[in-house]
Amino acid sequence: MKGKRFFPLALLLALSVALAQDGKALYGQYCAACHGPEAQGIPGAIPPLAGNPRVQEEAYVVKAVREGISGPLEVGGVSYSGVMPPMPQVSEAQARAIAQYLKGLSGAQAEAPAPAPQVQGDPALGRALYLGQKALQNGGAPCQACHTVAGVGFLGGGSLGRDLTDAAKRLGGEAGLSALLQNPAFPVMREAYKGRPLTEAEAAALAAFLVQVSNEVPRPASLYLGRYLVAGMVFLSILLLYQAILWQLRPKSLAERIQSQLRR
């Protein structure tokens, strides 16, 4: 009995140890989405890891993976100012395996990072996708469900995700955003779009929209508060009207009937 119960546990342990050894596989799982399959990065948006002197230091990599990085950064003469989300789900052993893999990679990597293919996005299409006026091809939720950007939309956007007004600046412009949208690095967003990823064209359109919107003047929050109040009032009056109709239709007692007859 006892052995049977512990068997799956032991199997899981053995499997995880085996995985930890495989730094390349772990890189593919956790890092490649943003930093690229060849660790080449995206110029101006996401720093390359191949040939990056910082990855030589194992402790730095482990810390970066598990606690994230933010703030200005300069790699190979290009400055970056993005945010790498913390991934505490990656164990320390796994992070070390990744660091090990990156260390081996850096020496061999000599060629210059290939420039990302530029797809020209349509900001109007992006706006429609953002607002949910046009459905995402693979059935993902429209961005507005969680995010707000410069107060676009009738009642503004959601407040679950971050305000995306400055996303273009934070996340490496159109190119960075486009890459990020196809392979979201943020755990919540990754879960939300699991199995229904954005297509390349959609990502490009959304990126173009986000860049365009970052140059707009954000609409004041009071506008949306006002709209909320008006919409709330309309909703409330509908409810009250419904109640009033129900109240009028209830069986009336004789006292009420007599009083209403007397008033007439």
- 1 or 254: CB nearest other proteins: 254
Q: How far is the CB of 252 from other proteins (least distance, A)?
A: 8
110 binds other proteins (CB under 8 A): no
Tell me how far apart the alpha carbons of residues 180 and 200 are, in angstroms, rounded to a whole number.
Answer: 11
45 backbone φψ class: left, alpha, beta (φ>0; ψ -120 to 50) = alpha
- 108 or 255: CB nearest other proteins: 255
Beta bridge partners of residue 88, listed in sequence order: none
Residue 255: both structure tokens together: 């006292």
Q: How far is the CB of 249 from other proteins (least distance, A)?
A: 12
- 234 or 258: CB nearest other proteins: 258
Among 215, 222, 248, 261, binds other proteins (CB under 8 A): 261
Contact between residue 30 and residue 98 where contact means Cβ atoms under 8 Å apart: yes
Local structure of residue 90 (DSSP, 8 states): S
169 binds other proteins (CB under 8 A): no
Tell me how far apart the alpha carbons of residues 77 and 52 are, in angstroms, rounded to a whole number.
Answer: 11
Q: How far is the CB of 246 from other proteins (least distance, A)?
A: 11
Per CB under 8 A, contacts with other proteins among 199-258 are: 250-258
- 196 or 252: CB nearest other proteins: 252
259 binds other proteins (CB under 8 A): yes
Residue 30: both structure tokens together: 């956790």
Place of tokens 């173009």: 208
How many alpha carbons fall within 13 Å on the CB side of residue 260?
7
Residues in the site for other proteins, rule: CB under 8 A? Answer: 250-259, 261-262
